[in-house]
Chains A and B, each alone.
Chain A
Amino acid sequence: MSTNKNYLKYPHRSLGMDHSLYKWSMLDDRPPIQWPNGKKLALWINISLQFFPLNQQNKPFPVPGGMTMPYPDLRHYTLRDYGNRIGIYRFFDALDQYGMQSSIAMNTLVAKRYPYLLNKVIERGHEIICHGDHMDALHYGGQPIEEEAALVQKSLDELRQLSGQPVKGWISPAKNESHNTPQLLAANGIEYFCDWVNDDMPYEFYTDEGVLTAMPLSTELEDKFILMNNLHSESSYKDQIIDACDFLLEEASTKGGRILALNLHPWLLGQPHRIHILEQVFEYLSSKKDIWSANPMEIVRVFKS
């Protein structure tokens, strides 16, 4: 087999990106952002509340963290469900102990299945982000646009109705998208989305239905990535957050406001042998006077102002 004759043709080889979704721009070249009250580092904690269905369809791929065993894979199903029953309540306590805010990215099906939990989230005043319908409802290249449009609309309409919140943020399951996802989100009233990990600061993302704000929610610093993908120790997770925090604070002192974005999964860090690590992370972060514990919509507002 050999490559075809077009293999050395480069239709997008020109200034800027190889697409028109956003502008090429180096972070270092942008004007510095000032956070409220002169803080250097916005701390954005996001907690992902996820539902992994037992009858996983794997369309078009098995969602990371999902079922891996023959049906019924009760070990993974229940271990994920643990987060919504147990882990999240440990998270709430830890947040309160250290005076931290957090957004909560929720599969719409979690809101539907667990009204008690939804109500608790609302009462506590968390900003709710839509995390798609459920973890196996993937958005993907090649998905028929009508199918995806219906999925986006249903996920958002139901979550807004159940929560009473406007729901302006979005994280796709597995942070996976089709070419159509951003425009469908914009058409359905989403202001910011968090799937693209190409920046440490917000930037403008263009769609046929208007401009979205791309919010930087690091995958590399996720508990799931570090503990489950990389199999690093819990203490290394803490070290990595501390090193990132110190580095960003230092960078912010000369280059303007930065964001430390931590995406957390209660089915993982909410385990009894891990929760103390999260508490130690919170303790460290709360000891820094230059940190602003912020909700994503607050960050978006500063970025847009």
Chain B
Amino acid sequence: MKQDLGLYDYWPYENRPKIRWPGGAKLAFWVAPNIEYYELDPPQNPFRTAWPQPIPAIPGYSIRDYGNRVGHVRQMQLLNKYGIRGSVSLSTALCDHHPEIIKQCRDLDWEFFSHGIYNTRYTYGMTEDQEREMIRDSIESIFKHTNQKCAGYLAPALSHSELTLDLFAEVGTELFGNDAGIYTCDLFHDDQPTPIHLRSKKRFVSIPYSLEMNDTIAYVSNKIEPRRYGQILKDNFDQLYKEGDNSGTVMCIPTHNYQISCPHRMKSYEEALEYITGHSDVWVTTGREIAEYYLEHYYDDAVRDIAGKQECKS
């Protein structure tokens, strides 16, 4: 085990090259619904157990199934109402289990990125070849079912290896060149995109995917009350919007249909979406669009700026 994986360099949040999003926008806003499949009886992983009770773990399994049976359509219709195209963090086995959901998202021109095969298959303990095969399977599944060349990655259940980002970028290149494997959502170190070091030297970025705004982290880990969650979303937006005067920021709301789409949580979510999309100078966009725009316009400046700040100069 290493003290640090060296994925990115220290880069202070002041005097960075100025970012302006398309149309002069100050803030890039994207919503990433996780559309996941959890297995009732997954194989045992040596480092992490899927369910707290002996199989069948009805409480955990059934509420996640609620997300697909009930929650998905609710959130999809809500996002559509506010002109938001979802960037779907997809358990790609869902293409096989629930193709109806894939079709509905495709019909709205939503984007899909890889979130592994199942959210009950963890990266822990996989060999490099196994992880590469899993990632390849997921990217191929997305292409087969949506015709999209998968741009982004969020490791299944946030389970990583030391090589996760390298492998994702490499498999993306092997399959689709620079059209696939260009960004990761796995890192929470910044409010702006940042260049990531890979062994392949591929141009690759981290796109902010806030763990703090993540509904499951908010509701399940932090046990936040629904109306307060709505206020937190607005507060997060207000600050990033204000800072966007200096240089463009990114706000992401990562969601799960088994959390956000419960009847007692929809109102505060809708109020936050209405508030955010009601502002001018907000670029309502997707993960791929942010990554591509940044790679084209700001990546090289950022790399130069970061290099210049690795020595102690104030």
Contacts and interface: CB of A to CB of B under 8 A. Distances in A.
B47 interface: yes
A198 B63 contact: yes
Interface stretch (A66-74, A183-191, A225-233): A225-233
Interface in B30-68: 37, 39-41, 43, 45-47, 52-59, 61-66, 68
B56 A177 contact: yes
Interface in A221-256: 221, 229-233, 236, 239-241, 243-248, 251
Contacts of B65: 17, 198
Interface residues on B, range: 35 or more
A16 B100 CA distance: 10
**Interface secondary structure of A, over-half rule:** loop
B56 A3 contact: no
A282 interface: no
Contacts of A246: 267
Given A61-B53, A243-B226, A243-B268, A198 B262 contact: no
A279 interface: no
A175, A198, A200, A236: most-surrounded residue (chain B CB, <10 A)? A198
Nearest to A16: B97
A304 interface: no
A178 interface: yes
B56 A15 contact: no
Nearest to B126: A3
A248 B66 CA distance: 15
Interface string B185-201: 00000000000000000
Nearest to A26: B69
Given A2-B126, A18-B97, A198-B62, A176 B53 contact: yes
B58 A24 contact: no
A137 B196 CA distance: 53
Interface in B149-206: none
Interface stretch (A6-14, A94-102, A294-302): A6-14
A2 B127 contact: yes
A198 B130 contact: no
Contacts of A127: none
Contacts of A1: 46-47, 125
A19 interface: yes
B85 interface: no
B225 A3 contact: no
Contacts of B267: 243, 246-247
Contacts of B20: none
Contacts, number: 163
A66 B65 CA distance: 27
Given A27-B69, A199-B69, A232-B225, A244 B54 contact: no
B63 A219 contact: yes
B40 A18 contact: yes
Contacts of B63: 197-198, 219-220
Contact of A14 (B45, B58, B97, B130): B97
Contact of B264 (A177, A199, A220): A220
A243 B264 contact: yes
Nearest to B120: A18
A19 B40 CA distance: 8
Interface in B107-156: 117-118, 121, 124-127, 130, 133-134, 137
Chain A interface size, as a band, is: 35 or more
B46 A15 contact: no
B18 interface: no
B232 interface: no
B263 interface: yes
A247 B266 contact: yes
Given A195-B58, A220-B264, A247-B264, A232 B223 contact: yes
Given A16-B97, A196-B62, A220-B262, A141 B40 contact: no
Contacts of A28: 73
B126 A197 contact: no
Given A26-B100, A232-B225, A233-B225, A175 B58 contact: yes
A171 to B, nearest CB: 11
Given A27-B70, A29-B100, A199-B66, A141 B268 contact: no
Given A7-B43, A13-B96, A61-B53, A243 B263 contact: yes
A3 B54 contact: no
A77 interface: no
Nearest to B67: A198
Contacts of A229: 223
Contacts of B105: none
B83 to A, nearest CB: 20
B55 A141 contact: yes
Contacts of B225: 230, 232-233, 236, 239-240
21 contacts: A3-B124, A3-B125, A13-B97, A14-B96, A15-B97, A17-B65, A28-B73, A29-B100, A140-B53, A142-B54, A175-B58, A175-B59, A176-B53, A176-B57, A197-B59, A198-B61, A200-B263, A219-B63, A230-B223, A232-B225, A248-B263
Which 5 residue pairs are nearest across A and B when measured between Cβ atoms?
A141-B54, A244-B264, A198-B65, A244-B263, A1-B46
Interface of B: 37, 39-41, 43, 45-47, 52-59, 61-66, 68-70, 72-74, 93, 96-101, 117-118, 121, 124-127, 130, 133-134, 137, 219, 223, 225-228, 262-268
Given A176-B57, A198-B69, A236-B228, 4 more contacts: A27-B73, A229-B223, A241-B264, A243-B263
